[in-house]
Amino acid sequence: MAERIITFTSDFGCCEEWVAAVKGVILSIAPSATIVDISHSIPPYAIGKGAFVLAAALPYMPAGVHMAVVDPGVGTRRLAVALRAERGDYLVGPDNGLLLPAAMRLGGAREAWFLDNQDFFRTPVHPTFHARDIFAPVAAHLSLGADPGEMGSRMHTGDLVPAPWGRAREGEGAVYATVVDIDRFGSLRLNAYPEQVASLGCEPGDRVLVGLGEEECEAVLVSTFGDVGVGALLLYEDSSGVMAVGVNGGSLAARSGATAGDIAIIYSPR
């Protein structure tokens, strides 16, 4: 069986030794492993951001093993888990909601295991570095074809910690969305999808209203930034497949003060 690729996502940054140490453990078990870095610039402890980045990236990766570590609960009673997605990928990391949005993008979480077999760990396990001592060796062994059932106890997928967000709610002529991520350009990525906006009767080129906190903004439903003037607001399908609100040539986050977790209400002015 050919080795699977291993992707690695974390909030570790690149200033310390942590990313290199994790990769070193993987390579000591699977010397020819292909390790793909998705991001190590997730803000510290930002589970929601990590979950969004992972979910946005994995559909474009070959089926493989995907290790993600944004883990403010490291060393506590939170579980270390491995999931098998419907597409056949394995996701490895903490049970804190980080993995589930990505698993859903890969067809859903089909199986789950609580990692409790220390034969597959690097021992002794340090209480603050499960990425190196638990997740890295497990990911490496999975990439070589190991049976996850030998690594831990089977869990019901419904017992996993829920994802940081669900799907936007529709009703009363509006879509009630949540800001799930803010990209580097200051656009607000929402848990709303194109078909939900279409259900409001909105078509490309239409003006829509977006409620952000106590502010009501007018935006145009378009495909790309250049379809509106500089400084104008647009509602568009982000490259990750979700709806987003942005400003051509500016930062809507800076202009509005919106942050992840805020509510954004989309409705037609008609």
Residue among 5, 110, 111 at smallest CA distance from 58:
5
Question: Is 1 contained in some domain?
Answer: no
Domain boundary among the residues 159, 190, 212 is at 159
- Mark whether 176 and 141 lie in a shared domain: no
- Mark whether 92 and 190 lie in a shared domain: no
Question: Is 164 contained in some domain?
Answer: no
- Mark whether 152 and 190 lie in a shared domain: no
Nearest-angstrom CA–CA distance, 270 and 260: 28
- Mark whether 118 and 49 lie in a shared domain: yes
> Are the C-beta atoms of residues 87 and 105 closer than 8 Å to each other?
no
Q: Is the pLDDT of residue 236 over 80?
A: yes
- Mark whether 118 and 219 lie in a shared domain: no
Number of structural domains the chain divides into: 2
> Are the C-beta atoms of residues 42 and 70 closer than 8 Å to each other?
yes
- Mark whether 108 and 183 lie in a shared domain: no
- Mark whether 28 and 88 lie in a shared domain: yes
Max distance between CA atoms of the chain, in angstroms, equals: 64
- Mark whether 23 and 141 lie in a shared domain: yes
- Residue pLDDT, tens place only, 126-179: 999 999 999 999 999 999 999 999 999 999 999 999 999 999 999 989 999 999
| pTM for the whole structure | 0.93
Nearest-angstrom CA–CA distance, 131 and 134: 6
Q: What pLDDT shows up at residue 2?
A: 65
Instruction: Give the chain's mean pLDDT.
Output: 95
When pLDDT is cut at 50, 70 and 90, the band that residue 268 belongs to is confident
Q: Is the pLDDT of residue 235 over 70?
A: yes
Question: Is 112 contained in some domain?
Answer: yes
- Mark whether 59 and 102 lie in a shared domain: yes
Q: What CATH number has the domain bearing residue 56?
A: 3.40.50.10790
Strand arrangement of the beta sheet that strand 90-94 belongs to: 35-39, 6-10, 65-69, 90-94, 80-85, 109-115, 152-155
- Mark whether 29 and 152 lie in a shared domain: yes
Least trusted range by pLDDT, from 15-19, 199-203, 235-239: 199-203
Question: Is 47 contained in some domain?
Answer: yes
Q: What CATH number has the domain bearing residue 204?
A: 2.40.30.90
Q: Which domain holds residue 71?
A: 6-159
**Alpha helices in 144-222, H assignment, sequence order:** 194-198
Domain boundary among the residues 138, 159, 180 is at 159
